[in-house]
Structures are given as C-alpha cells and as structure tokens.
Structure 1
Amino acid sequence: MTHRTRLAPSPTGALHLGNARTFLVNWALARHQGWQIVMRIEDLDGPRVKHDAAQQAIDLLRWLGIDWDEGPVYQMTDLEPYRMALRKLAERGLAYPCNCTRREIEAASRSAPHADEHELRYPGTCRPAEPRSIAAASIELEECGWRFRVPDGPHPFVDQFLGEQQINVQQTVGDFQIWTKGGLPSYQLAVVVDDARQGIDRIVRGNDLVTSTPRQQLLANALDADYAPQFWHLPLVRGTDGKRLAKRHGDTRLVHYREQGVGAQRIIGLLAEWCGLGPRRTLTAEEFAAGFEIENLSQQDVLFHPTDERWLFGES
C-alpha cells in the first residue's frame, strides 16, 4: 500500500517561516518514507482568501525545492462532495442549523473553557434536546449555518510525534460549525471529506491543530468515511514574546525574504537548525531531507530571534 500525505496551504495570507518549516518537514518525511504527496489549496475561507496567494504559495514552495506528485487541486472547484456530507449528517440527526453570531456565543459563554485564543466554546443555544433527522430536500445551504452534534466524553487518540492525547471536544469547543451562513463548508468538514476521497492517510501539521484531530475523527465516524490517518503535530515557530509569528514580529514572509535577495538555501539552513540538523548553514531541500530525522526534532516551540533574521541576511 502506498501512503499519501498532503501539502495544504490556505490562500488567506502569505507563507512565513513557520509555515515553511512545517511544509519542509512534511515533505522530508514523505520522501524518506515513500509517501505520495498531494498539493491541495484550501481556498474555502471566502472573504479572507487573497488574490494570487495560492499561486504565490505554490511558487514559493517550488523555490524552496519542495515538490509533489499530484495537484494542485482546489477545494472551490467542486462543492458537491461537501454538500452531500452535510446532507448525510443532517438526515442522521447529527447536524442542526444555527445562525448564532460570535457576539451572541461570547455573551452566552463568558466563563466557558475554549480550545485556544481564537475559538469560543459553543454553549448549545440552538442544539435540539434530542437528535432530529432533517430531510435533505429541506436543507438551506446558502442561508444557514450548521453545527455538528458532539457527544460528551473524552476522545483518545495517538499522535505519532506527541504521543497519547485525550480531548473532550464537547467541553472544549462544544458543537462546532461545519457549514457557514455563506454557503460554504467549514475547515473541519472539508478536511475530512477531502482526506477521505483523496486517500490521505498521513497528516503532518502544526500543533495548533491538535484539537482539530478528534473533531475530524468524530466527523469521519459519523459519515462512515474511510478515514484513519496517522498524525504528526509539530511545534510552531513563535516570536520572542511566545506568540505565533505575526506582523508584530517583523516581516517573516517568504516572499519578503526572496524579494530582499535572501536565498532559499539560507532559509532552509535556518529551518534545519530549528529541526535538529546541527548548526545553521546553507542547505538545499535535498540535503535537508537527507539529514532530517524526526527523532531529533524537539517538541518545544521555536523562538524566532533578531539574530536569526540577521543571519538570513548574512549579517552574522
């Protein structure tokens, strides 16, 4: 059996050093293990999708020396598989309509726990007391949001990098959104549908998405999807303040470095040091893959220091 993974940039913003590190590790693991790689552009986040960002991401990954075996495929090309999944969940009483706004959810759940700083726990405002089957013909896909009915209780799974995990989805995020009022599937639903139909069984991504794993496994089970991937959730790159890379940490976009004359091998050399390949030095992607061992990758998030940027520009 040939295993398959995916590189899945979202064209909602430019790739930065943290994204590059995750993609490079994913690519190196795939080339080590003989996995096929699918390039998938996750372009469903409507208003946040930026013009030309998808093509820029493809060009930058190629510039780094990262390649793939299939694609790029774009989610927006065909929405029908996601519609079919929503209809199935609704007919089974596992999805229900909800048009609560973020402000309303925040007001109703001020003291509730949440998965991270960006996600509130849904308090169940629109949740039917009992599961209720909804006929597919009556589903409004363009005018209503939908949520997945999450069972209470711990959900255990094994991460290949982090080890055993156990998350209670109901207590962290509650019944999460699977369809938007704009008529598009959410990230959680789209990922499950796409991974199942594209045969993706090896998933490498940042540890900020570890709480998404049980949600996606619950959805897959509810859809009877052929979906049992192994997961590797990797540490993030953060600023010296401990927060995820953002504009406040300076311009860490790959396109910025390329425009300023920083070579791809210089960037890979810095990423290699962050990945346990020894002192920083210029490297090609192939040299990175030849020396990379997942066992040498620390589970601690990396801090991006001003000295790192100076090295990229050849100043130290």
Structure 2
Amino acid sequence: MEGKRTYSKTRIAPTPSGFLHLGNVVSFVRTVGLAKSFGARILLRIDDMDRERVVPEYVQDIFDVLNFLELPWEEGPRNVKEFEREWSQVHRMGMYREALEDLREKGDVFACSCSRAKVMRDSPDGVYAGTCRDKELSF
C-alpha cells in the first residue's frame, strides 16, 4: 500500500526509579496494540542510565507487571539477571561516551540550562530555539 508507513520495531522503555503505575500500563498496552497493527516487534529496553535511582525491586516490578498483564515482547531481557548481565545500558556507556566525544569534536553538542517549561514558553511547538548554543556553558 503506497504511502503507508511500516515499522519493524518499537520499544517499551520503563525507567526503574519507582514502581510502575497506571500511566506506564496504558503506555505499554498502547505500544503493544500499535506494534500488532504495524507488524512490528517489541523491544524491552529498561532505561537504567540514572544508576543512583535504580533499585532491584523496581527492575523486578517491570517483569512482574509485564508478565502479569501478559504483554508480549520479542527482544530484550526476560528477567533481572539477564537484564543486568546483557541488557543494562551500563554495557553501552563506552559507545555513548564515544558518540558524545564525536559530537563535541564537530561542535554539535553544547550545555543548556533551559528547563522544558522555558523551551515551551519560548517556542510553543516545543522545538528548541538554540538559546544556549553560544553561551559556552560548561558540562
């Protein structure tokens, strides 16, 4: 069908900084529905970049909720041990640092002190206007 977008993959990306709530469940159910309608695979990508706030019980809660609700995912960890051993974002930190350094060298990254609220006030469509690009704020 011409003009119809196709997607091969989507993701469920909870953050283990608290127990899941109804908003998470609604998002997960919607993602599963969209994936089915587009024939896309689902990746469980637990966003544990903020390691100080990650609590093992919160990671376990993600698996408990997904399994209890029988929400499917084709890729990603199946349990906490597998998550920590193979899927934690910690394993990608070297790659993230390298990408950030490449962007710095090209001058394509800069520090910004603007809050989301300020960005929305300055640009109601939510597109960042580059307010801090030339301020040379330190990281």
Q: What is the TM-score of this pair, normalised by structure 2? A: 0.71
Q: Structure 1: which 5+ runs fail to align? A: 106-111, 122-153, 155-164, 176-180, 182-316
1:313 is matched with none
Distance 1:51 1:174, change over 3 A: farther
* Match of residue 21 from structure 1: 26
Corresponding letter in the other structure for 1:92: K
What amino acid sits opposite 2:94 in the alignment? E
Which structure's residues are more often helix, by fraction?
Answer: 2
Q: Which residue of 2 aligns with 1:54?
A: 59
Q: Distance in 1 between matches of 2:74 and 2:92?
A: 21
| Alignment check: 8 A CA contact 1:9 1:54 kept | no
Q: What CA distance in whole angstroms lies between the structure 1 residues aligned with 2:31 and 2:132?
A: 30
- Following superposition, the deviation at residue 58 of structure 1 comes to 1.5
TM-score scaled by length of structure 1: 0.33
Q: Rg: which structure is higher?
A: 1
Residue number among 40, 43, 61 corresponding to 1:38 in the alignment: 43
- SS of the equivalent of 2:116 reads coil
Divergent runs of 4+, >6 A? none
Query: How big is the shift at 1:77?
Result: 2.1
User: Can you list the C-alpha shifts for 1:86-113, whole angstroms capped at 9, x where unaligned?
Assistant: 01101101224x6x9xxxx5xxxxxx8x
Q: Which has the higher strand share?
A: 1
Question: Who is 1:12 aligned against?
Answer: 17
Partner of 1:167: 126
1:86-101 aligned within 5 A = 86-96=100-110
Query: How many matched pairs?
Result: 118
Between the aligned residues of both structures, percent identity stands at 33
* Whole-angstrom distance in 1 between the partners of 2:31 and 2:104: 35
Q: 1:23 to 1:84 in 2, by over 3 A?
A: same
Query: Aligned Cα RMSD in Å?
Result: 2.9
Q: Distance in 1 between matches of 2:48 and 2:125?
A: 30
Structure 2: runs of 5+ lacking an equivalent: 1-5, 78-86, 134-138
